[in-house]
Amino acid sequence: MTKAENPSSRPIDHLALRGAADAAALLIGDRVTSFADLDAGVGRLASWLLDQAGGPGERVASWSAKTRAACLMPLAAARAGLIHVPVNPLLKGPQVAHILGDSGAKLLITNGARADMLGDARPEDCALQDLKIAEEVIDSGGGGLPLSMAEPGDLAAILYTSGSTGRPKGVMLSHANLWLGAESVASYLKIIPEDRVLGVLPLSFDYGQNQLLSSWYAGAALAPLDYLTARDVVKAVGRHKATTLAGVPPLWVQLVEAEWPADTAAHLKRLTNSGGALTPSLIDAMRRTFPKADIYPMYGLTEAFRSTYLDPALVADHPTSMGRAIPHAEILVCRPDGSITADDEPGELVHTGPLVAQGYWRDKERTVQRFKPAPAASRYGGTAVWSGDTVRRDASGLLTFVGRDDAMIKTAGNRVSPTEVEDVAVASGLIYEAVAFGVPDPRLGAAIVLIVRGRGGAADEEGLAVYLRQNLPNFMQPQTVEWRDELPRNPNGKLDRVAIAAGWTQEHDDAQ
């Protein structure tokens, strides 16, 4: 079989030139940044970043809300030949310190409050600059760096994602990964220059960052929003006349329960979902709330950006389907030996093509576990992402999710590592052991349950609760913490996680 050729791409900072010079690119409050202003601001910020970081190839991290500087960072770092490391603004000091140390970041852009939260945990060789300085640089009016000449395979970003065990790992994304991801999404969502995209997702997520990139690829404007309540989103849709909104299932639950003026809801013409499956009942509620909007259910993984989407025309008849491959992705359903499954036969989802990332940053062991040679039947060949997710493909080519092999907890649209929650709990010094797992929750998708064994049988419930609140972001907080005198173990002497989770579920089922 002749292998498919990878499509062409450009350096990601060239997105600043995709829209008309006087067209809106970024809407923050009452401030409108045109594409001409975007390109000039990217150039100035790039020059300053390069001077602060010390030279091309260094990693620069940003940890902030959705400010203008945060939105320009992916393009500015790339223009400077630097590697951008966006940090989730919800993370606390210990998680951020790990990301800075693991990435070897030479520079962190953040505000004073977050810098204080990080404190002495910041690596010694990571310089600190205030976000206000970055904003001033953008407005300085001075000259900036010209468009970059990066190669498609050059590293542009490291996005940190949790694994089922251990601490977050950095997924390495090239210019081609980011450019083709933007092109793919802009294409199948049919985004046009007249669209206004409301960006409510964190820019540290591939899903959130792509809203920036795909909007600019299409020459459209993005309005970033840091929201506290569903009402904030309703107001922002009305204020910006947003046509496009991306969310995760827990947000959609809140939004369909909110009060929407008919003329505000009518602005929305496309709704996209990832980070968990939409239920048929939630889809029905979204249809009632947003009668003029197309719904795009999607499936993705950071290691390959995104894999599938379901055409809105098929949502009513196939509400539980993941759909088919997005442009620039080849999705295969494979048996363990790499052969392709028959229709309706469960198999592992394998993603090949130019959206596949370059592996995990400085983590060869975990890279070879997930990034393996593509199956022989692949059109692209090369390296594939073996997702660990079991899916089925029907006779029409539509995919349906069956289950996940790893222990990741997907809560409120976030992927949470049980081990990370457990490590923080044990670090409190109040317990000997901890086991975290997810249980179905109608609002969160999955709620986190933490089972712990106290030191000497003691149960300092309030002390542990306070420590977890101080050291874990909100989306990692356990909904339930239960104390045990003993925890079951397997024959190897390790904690029997399956038995612990099953026992908790049985106890609570019996109590109902």
- Tens-place pLDDT, residues 134-187: 999 999 988 899 999 999 999 999 999 865 445 789 999 999 999 999 999 999
Residue 1 lies in a domain: no
Residue 4 lies in a domain: no
Residues contacting 494, CB < 8 A, separation 6+: none
pLDDT over 70, % of the chain: 96
Of 7-11, 297-301, 331-335, 425-429, which range is least confident? Answer: 425-429
- pLDDT band at residue 272, thresholds of 50, 70 and 90? very high
Residue 287 lies in a domain: yes
pLDDT of 308 > 80? The answer is yes
Supply the angle between the helices 249-257 and 280-289 in degrees, to the nearest 10.
Answer: 50
pLDDT of 243 > 80? The answer is yes
Q: Is the separation of the CB atoms in 176 and 155 below 8 Å? A: no
Within this chain, do residues 427 and 305 fall inside the same structural domain, yes or no? Answer: no
b/e code 86-97 from CB counts within 10 Å (16+ = b): bbbbebbbbbbb
H or E segment at 309? strand 308-309
Within this chain, do residues 138 and 154 fall inside the same structural domain, yes or no? Answer: yes
Within this chain, do residues 207 and 305 fall inside the same structural domain, yes or no? Answer: yes
Rg of the chain over Cα atoms, rounded to whole angstroms, equals: 23
How far is the CA of 312 from the CAs of 218, 275, 364, 456, in angstroms?
Answer: 20, 18, 39, 57
Within this chain, do residues 226 and 126 fall inside the same structural domain, yes or no? Answer: yes
Within this chain, do residues 294 and 384 fall inside the same structural domain, yes or no? Answer: yes
Supply the angle between the helices 68-79 and 35-53 in degrees, to the nearest 10.
Answer: 70
Within this chain, do residues 396 and 414 fall inside the same structural domain, yes or no? Answer: no
**Residue 86 belongs to domain spanning:** 12-403
Among 385, 403, 421, the domain boundary falls at: 403
Residue 87 lies in a domain: yes
Q: For the chain, what is the domain count?
A: 2
Within this chain, do residues 328 and 466 fall inside the same structural domain, yes or no? Answer: no
Among 388, 403, 418, the domain boundary falls at: 403
CATH code for position 483 = 3.30.300.30
Task: Please give the pLDDT value at position 164.
Answer: 45
Within this chain, do residues 449 and 500 fall inside the same structural domain, yes or no? Answer: yes
Residue 3 lies in a domain: no
Residue 295 lies in a domain: yes
Residue 454 lies in a domain: yes
Residue 5 lies in a domain: no
CATH code for position 99 = 3.40.50.12780
pLDDT of 278 > 90? The answer is no
| 488-502 tens-digit pLDDT | 876 555 678 888 999
Joined together, the tokens standing for residue 501 give 């989770």
Within this chain, do residues 306 and 223 fall inside the same structural domain, yes or no? Answer: yes
Helix and strand element counts for the chain (H, E): 16, 25
Within this chain, do residues 195 and 111 fall inside the same structural domain, yes or no? Answer: yes
How far is the CA of 212 from the CAs of 10, 54, 202, 204, 226, in angstroms?
Answer: 16, 27, 11, 11, 14
Within this chain, do residues 389 and 473 fall inside the same structural domain, yes or no? Answer: no
Joined together, the tokens standing for residue 62 give 């940003």
Joined together, the tokens standing for residue 255 give 């939004």
Within this chain, do residues 344 and 247 fall inside the same structural domain, yes or no? Answer: yes
What's the chain's length in residues? Answer: 512
